[in-house]
A and B are shown apart, each in its own frame.
Chain A
Amino acid sequence: MSATMRIVNGQVYDPKNNINGEIKEICIQDGKIVDAVDDDATIIDAKGMVIMPGGVDIHCHIAGPKVNLARKLTPEARRHDVHPSTPFTRSGSGGTTPSTFAAGYRYATLGYTTAMEAAVSPIGARHVLEEFEDTPIIDKGFYVLLGNNIFLHNLIREKRFEEFEQAVAWWVNATKAYTVKLVNPGGDEAWKGKKNSNVTDIDEKTGPSSDISPRQIIEAFVKTVNKQGYPHPPHIHCNNLGHSGNYITTLETMKTAGDLRAHIAHIQFHSYGGVVGKNPISKAAEIADYVNKHPNITCDVGQVMFGESTIMTADAPLAYVLKGHTKGKWVNADTECESGCGILPFVYQEHLYMHTLQWAIGLELFLLSEDPWRIILSTDHPNGGSFMAYPKLIKLLMDEKFRHEEMKRVNQKALLKCSLPELKREYTLYEIAIITRAGPAKALGLETKGHLGVGADADITIYDLMDDKEMMFSTARYVFKSGEPMIANHEFTTDSKGKVYHIAPTYDNKIEEVLKPFFEDFYSIEFSNYPVDDHYLHQHEIIKTR
């Protein structure tokens, strides 16, 4: 098929360009959206179909050492969910942690064309980039974990903020990351050093000599990333994930950012009231209210979906606590001087109070949001559920009747502790296009993604318009990636590798003289071998820092 195409007769949903279901032609040339094409362009008739930009997943876990550990930990999931090859695509295995090939193809099947791996320890960056090369079709990027980095903690403790900024920029460059990720900042060190303890308050002092707080770490990163103008702000997984009463920590984390940009990851897991050790209650209203009133904050929801999942986190103390509940197989890891890790298979069950409340809080956050551009759809794949559950989540948001049917099957006591039963709102296709496409692309600063305006990447999804929105969003009829038809009439027609997005903030080389002695003393890897070489990047693009 020609790379010059005209898609006609389809209902277009392109929120960035204020197009809400209008019948409009979309023209494609050389991988980009253009105003017009020649008359001999290939025509695709999208009558009775919905045209949206390709989906953008702002927060998922699809590549790298921790994902691979999870794959190895669950061989039964691989056996029971074989992803067959086609004449154009390779085979793979599924489950909640699909193989690289299956992950790319399954995202494409849903109509997603970009996905960001949300937590990579710097030392695992090579592995991630190698897996990205094997993750087909979708464009990718990753966030590098720096919130439990001992060297950076030392600089904060010693108030050497100029060197801190240079070191952060060096680390982002060295790993080819897209932005920095903070996971339970300061918490991993407590877990590693003090017999499985954790920080419980944003102002609790942590570290080897208990003289640095999570708030100081968050503040330093927010200021640095905003000063250096990264396209996406620091991606923050707050302290106290999953604990009753943690909404106070979440509010304090957002307040710490002041009016600077910050992204709060899987905010559902951080919206619990109540007392530690007892069942939580919903504080979704308080969290949604703060987000609504502060345009500098973006967040993704991290919706829990009932069924199988895999807990996969750099929040090592959290995984350690959860393994006490599941009593099944589990992995905890200490990643040198820079992070921790925990992985365990997990099942969310409708009849349990906690799991129902988590499910309900996620939906509340979506439904209470006044600005869909800043509350983005995610399940924190695979933590809250697989990305393959996105179609069902969309149906829950768009269909109040379906939501109430589902509510009949869940723990009723939990529903009494939240406002979900009273919420009548139903998302429109326009709003779905925002929370799955335009919103995440805007939050990521990817100007050529998430819209269908002239100059945008021709990443386009065409769905059959159906009443059952779960079925509609489960399989796209057409998916175009950079103007090439990847899926036509529900069948893969070709394969491609997709691109890696990263940033390259400038820094003073002198910081290497400060870093090198630390590496020689404490790292298992030589300083000169630590930065990721350019040849680990296949097709890639550097997004400019402002």
Chain B
Amino acid sequence: MPLHLKLHTQPEVPLEADCICPDKIQSLKGSEISSMIVFHGNRQVKLGEFFDCKGEFDGEIIIDGDLNNVKHVGASMTFGKIIIEGNIGLHTGAAMQGGEIIIEGNAADWLAAEMQGGKITVKGNAGHMTGSGYRGSTVGMQGGEIFIHGNVKNETGHVMRRGLIVVGGDSGDFTGVNMIAGTIIVLGNMGIRTGAGMRRGSIICFNEAEILPTFTRNCVYKPSFIKFYINYLEKNGFSIDSSYTNGTFERWSGDSIELNRGEVLLSQYKNK
């Protein structure tokens, strides 16, 4: 039976609950879990003041309630599974190294910031800075997979170095800004300034997009790896028009203000 946490009192100010993490809960029993310390604003309080805790941890944690004001859930986790039944607040899965987080609702900003491994699935939308590096860090996401079925806001994959981010809907501005390596796939539309300052890596969009003048158009071709990606995305719950499988993509290289070794691939399918 998994551990079930249900929010019974809505926090008035953000609740920093980085203790909701399999690594920190695995050796605790019921009352000990309720006694874990969280920050309510600048006050240290017990987790039990906000959550009802039922069941025992068997590798899985289910969290229920309006969690928009609950931050850092699953931060730095290395194993196990967290299922969030609604929306979730800032920094979910930040610096996560392994395991899985499933969010049935929306995720706020800084989802999986500086993630190193594991898998996050968001059934709704995600906020700004998904899979990005924190301010001052030269490296953001370094591994793992983020699947977002809805839309994301700005600076998705900022300074990411490795890993995969898939956006089922639209992404905001500066997708893959200063990206070092890795892959971002956007099935909807992208905002402006995609890949600004990117050094390497691939940004793949299944629609047209505005390209910066510092990118160079290379060719139109049929990348063979796309069908493998599409297969993989379908296995992860995305529904993709089969016409994309062998479709043509326009390849742009950039950003020439950096090493010009990154690429943006734009599907030509809808233009035909």
Q: Which residue of B lies closest to A74 (CB)?
A: B136
- B246 interface residue, CB < 8 Å from A? no
B134 touches A79 (CB 8 A): yes
Per-position binary interface string of chain B over residues 124-141, scored 1 when its CB falls under 8 Å from any chain A CB and 0 otherwise: 000000000011111000
Chain A residue contacts of B135, Cβ below 8 A: 75-76
**CA distance in complex: A364, B38 (Å):** 51
Would you call A73 an interface residue if the criterion is a C-beta within 8 Å of the partner chain's C-beta atoms? yes
A168 to B61 Cα, complex, angstroms:
68
Least Cβ–Cβ distance between B270 and chain A, in angstroms: 40
Q: Which B207-231 residues have a C-beta within 8 angstroms of A? A: none
Interface string of A54-78 (1 = CB under 8 A from B): 0000000000000000000111110
Assess whether A75 is in contact with B136, with CB atoms less than 8 Å apart: yes
Contacts of A79 in B (CB 8 A): 134
A328, CB-defined interface residue at 8 Å: yes
B197 CB to closest chain A CB (Å) equals 13
CB contacts (< 8 Å) of A76 on chain B: these are: 134-137
Chain A residues whose C-beta falls within 8 Å of the C-beta of B138 in the assembled complex: 328
Report the bound CA distance from A467 to B262 in whole Å: 54
Contact with A along B154-193 (1 / 0, CB 8 A): 0000000000000000000000000000000000000000
Residues on the B chain within 8 Å of A75, using CB: 134-136
Report B104-160 residues with CB < 8 Å from chain A CB.
134-138
Q: Which range contains the number of A residues in contact with the other chain?
A: under 10
What is the distance, in angstroms, from A93's C-beta to the closest C-beta of chain B?
Answer: 12
Residues on A with C-beta less than 8 A from B137 are: 76
- Residues of A within 8 Å of B134, CB to CB, are 75-76, 79
User: Once the chains are docked, how many angstroms separate the CA of A75 from the CA of B136?
Assistant: 5
CA distance A77 to B136 in the complex (A): 9
A295 to B88, CA, bound (A): 68
| A73→B138 CA distance, assembly (Å) | 12
User: Chain B nearest CB: distance from A75 CB in Å?
Assistant: 4
Chain B residues, CB < 8 A from A77: 136
**Nearest CB in chain B: distance from A325 CB, A:** 16
CA distance A75 to B138 in the complex (A): 11
Q: How far apart are the CA atoms of A75 and B114 in the complex, in Å?
A: 14
Interface residues of A in 212-236 (CB under 8 A from B): none
How near does chain B come to A53, taking the closest CB pair, in angstroms?
39
Q: How far is it, in angstroms, between the C-alpha of A287 and the C-alpha of B137 when the chains are bound? A: 40
A77 to B134, CA, bound (A): 11
Q: What is the bound-complex CA distance between A76 and B114, given in angstroms?
A: 11
Chain A, residues 276-312, CB within 8 Å of chain B (1/0): the string is: 0000000000000000000000000000000000000
Q: Which of A54-108 contact B (CB under 8 A)?
A: 73-77, 79
B135, B136, B138: residue with the most chain A Cβ atoms closer than 10 Å: B136
Across the interface, which residues of B come within 8 angstroms of A328, CB to CB?
Answer: 138
Q: Once the chains are docked, how many angstroms separate the CA of A73 from the CA of B136? A: 7
Q: Closest approach, in angstroms, between the C-beta of A511 and any C-beta of chain B? A: 45
Distance from B37 Cβ to chain A, minimum over Cβ atoms (Å): 12
Nearest-CB residue, chain A, relative to B135: A75
Chain B residue with the shortest CB-CB distance to A73: B136
- B72 CB → nearest A CB, Å: 12
| Cα(A73)–Cα(B135), bound, Å | 10
Q: How far is the CA of A320 from the CA of B137 in the complex (A)?
A: 22
Residue of B nearest to A328 (CB): B138
For A73, A75, A76, A77, which residue has the most chain B Cβ atoms within 10 angstroms?
A76
Q: Cα distance A74–B137 when bound, in Å?
A: 8
In the complex, chain B residues whose CB is within 8 Å of the CB of A74: 136
Query: Given the complex of chains A and B, what is the CA–CA distance between A79 and B134 in angstroms?
Result: 9
Q: A79 vs B136: C-alpha distance in the bound complex, in angstroms?
A: 10
* A189–B137 alpha-carbon span in the complex (Å): 33
A371 to chain B, nearest CB (A): 43
Q: Which residue of B lies closest to A77 (CB)?
A: B136
B71 to chain A: closest CB distance in Å? 14
Q: Which of A406-459 contact B (CB under 8 A)?
A: none
Distance in angstroms between the alpha carbons of A232 and B134 in the assembled complex:
44
Q: Which residues of chain A in 8-61 are interfacial with respect to chain B, using CB atoms and an 8 Å cutoff?
A: none
- In the assembled complex, the Cα of A143 lies from the Cα of B136 at a distance in Å of 30
Chain B min CB distance to A495 (Å): 19
Write the nearest CB–CB distance from B201 to chain A, whole angstroms: 19
* Residue in B closest to A78 when the chains form the complex, CB atoms: B136
CA–CA, A76 to B113, complex, Å?
13
Name the CB-closest residue of A to B136.
A75
- Chain B residues with CB under 8 Å of A73's CB are 136
Q: Give min CB distance, A6 to chain B, whole Å.
A: 40
- Alpha-carbon distance between A76 and B137 when the two chains are bound, in angstroms: 6
CA distance A75 to B135 in the complex (A): 7
Which residues of chain A are within 8 angstroms of B136 by Cβ–Cβ distance?
A: 73-77
How distant is the Cα of A76 from the Cα of B140 in the complex, in angstroms? 11
Provide the bound-state CA to CA distance between A390 and B51, in Å.
46
Residues 46 to 89 of chain B near chain A (Cβ within 8 Å): none
Question: Closest Cβ of chain B: how far from A472's Cβ, in Å?
Answer: 33
| Cα separation A79 to B94 with both chains bound (whole Å) | 13
- Smallest CB–CB gap between A128 and chain B, Å? 24
Q: State how many angstroms separate the Cβ of A101 from the closest Cβ of chain B.
A: 16
Docked complex Cα distance between A59 and B134 (Å): 33
Residue of A75, A77, A328 with most chain B CB atoms under a 10 A cut-off: A75
**In the bound complex, what is the Cα–Cα distance between A335 and B100 (angstroms)?**
52
The smallest C-beta distance from A308 to any residue of chain B, in angstroms, reads: 13
User: Bound complex: CA of A60 vs CA of B135, how far in Å?
Assistant: 27
A74 to B134, CA, bound (A): 11
Q: Report the separation of the CA atoms of residues A328 and B138 in the bound assembly, to the nearest whole angstrom.
A: 9
| Residue of A whose beta carbon sits closest to that of B139 | A76
B170 CB to closest chain A CB (Å) equals 30
0/1 string, A471-489, CB within 8 A of B gives 1: 0000000000000000000
A77 to B135, CA, bound (A): 11
Complex CA gap A514/B44 in Å reads 59
- Encoded as 1 (CB less than 8 Å from any B CB) or 0, chain A from 104 to 136 comes to 000000000000000000000000000000000
Which of chain A's residues has its CB closest to B133's CB? Answer: A76
C-alpha spacing A77/B137, complex, angstroms = 9
Told that A73-B136, A76-B134 touch, could you supply 6 new A-B pairs with CB distance under 8 A?
A: A74-B136, A75-B136, A76-B135, A76-B137, A77-B136, A79-B134
Q: What 10 A-B pairs come out closest when comparing CB atoms?
A: A75-B136, A76-B136, A76-B137, A75-B135, A74-B136, A76-B134, A79-B134, A328-B138, A75-B134, A73-B136
Chain A residues within CB distance 8 Å of chain B? 73-77, 79, 328
12 contacts between A and B (CB under 8 A): A73-B136, A74-B136, A75-B134, A75-B135, A75-B136, A76-B134, A76-B135, A76-B136, A76-B137, A77-B136, A79-B134, A328-B138
